[in-house]
Structure 1
Amino acid sequence: MTQSLHAGYHRPRMLRHVGRFSPVRIHSMHHQSGRHIRLLLAPGLSLYDALVRPLAEIGVTSASTTILGGQFARLEYCVAPPDPSGHAVIAYSPPIDAGAAYLVFGNATLGKDMQGKALVHCHASVRVASGEVKGGHIVPQASVVGAQPIPVLVTALEGFELRQALDDETNIPLLKPFKES
């Protein structure tokens, strides 16, 4: 291939895990059923509250969601470059203020943090006011839904829950499946 075919593309980054090798890279569980829910994120609420509150009301504490796109009055995100200290595989950047932005598409996972509180982990592509498309980890508590509801497809995880736990291989906390307690 010629160099011109690669113009505009970045070389993929190589990350080396800092911890003990685990032969089980993906931890998974399944259940015979799971509810599918259509949800509208309420205007004026943070992404965190707009997801957590209505799902908690119907007993959903672990879920996989697809955010179909919509305007945020305020949106913050961060990126995850390699950890310069070498202590972990990545280190999140400080939050980047995107201001009013359009979330093009996102996936959010709902689980529990290490203290048992609701945790929302969201990856998304956003279009900022300048028209540029950015992407990264959305800061759910700091990102506020705009004037119109935003549609979300939710798959409730039944028979098990997602809990944050330290991953020995990456040396960062990850959401992992556990049998419900």
Structure 2
Amino acid sequence: MSRTLQSGYHRPRMLRHVGRFSPVRIQSMHYQSGRHIRLLLQPGRSLYDALVRPLQAIGVTSASTTILGGHFDHLEYCVAPPDPSGKAVIAYSSPIDAGASFMVFGNATLGKDMEGRPLVHCHASVRVEDGSVKGGHIVPQASIIGATPISVLVTALEGFELRQAFDDETNIPLLKPFKES
């Protein structure tokens, strides 16, 4: 047994997708340019509204963002353990209430859900009320920015958009690039 495993670390979990194999592992698109925007998430707003509304106002509907950290009056997140039903590789947990928390660092992707509404998918590390550090998928609609604005670096995606679509291999909906319609 390796020294790392003996000292208490776990082996990475092996994930096997249950759906039809796709030889294209990563779907990508690029464009020659994209706007870079510095945004301040406004206190008292949900992470969802604080990202979506100002970006919509300047015509941005798909973007990649880096959240530089800040306080949340309330934050909820979930994790993605293996799907106990076996129908997909993962299944999101119920939201976990982290209370007042500090987001150490996060990445959020802005796209459109299957009905064409704005969708924010955010992964982050957070320090929760008891001082421990957690990580997972932030619930944007339920996470409320604290008293101080939070800086976000935004790269607007130009020439294509991200849309949620069912993925046959993972058996879950994913954000995928599509030519703008």
| Letter matched to residue 115 of structure 1 | E
Q: Offset of 1:9 from its aligned partner?
A: 2.2
**Do 2:105 and 2:126's aligned partners in 1 also have CA atoms closer than 8 Å?**
yes
147 and 87 in structure 1: CA distance in 2 versus 1, 3 angstrom threshold: same
Aligned to 1:137: 137
Between the two proteins, the alignment pairs up a number of residues equal to 181
Unaligned runs of 5+ in 2: none
SS of residue paired to 2:74: strand
Aligned to 1:17: 17
Q: Does residue 1:86 correspond to 2:82, yes or no?
A: no
Aligned to 1:159: 159
CA-based RMSD of the aligned residues comes to: 1.2
Aligned to 1:56: 56
**Do 2:5 and 2:11's aligned partners in 1 also have CA atoms closer than 8 Å?**
no
| Letter matched to residue 180 of structure 2 | E
Unaligned runs of 5+ in 1: none
Distance 1:11 1:4 in 2: 9
Distance 2:101 2:41 in 1: 15
- TM-score (ref. length: structure 2): 0.97
- Identity %, equivalent residues: 83
Q: Offset of 1:5 from its aligned partner?
A: 7.2
Q: Offset of 1:176 from its aligned partner?
A: 0.1
Distance 1:102 1:50 in 2: 16
12 and 2 in structure 1: CA distance in 2 versus 1, 3 angstrom threshold: closer
Q: Offset of 1:8 from its aligned partner?
A: 4.0
Deviations, residues 52-104 of structure 1 (Å, cap 9, x unaligned):
00000000000000000000000000000010101111100000000000000
Aligned to 2:122: 122
* Aligned ranges 1:40-51 → 2 under 5 Å: 40-51=40-51
| Letter matched to residue 112 of structure 2 | K
- TM-score (ref. length: structure 1): 0.97
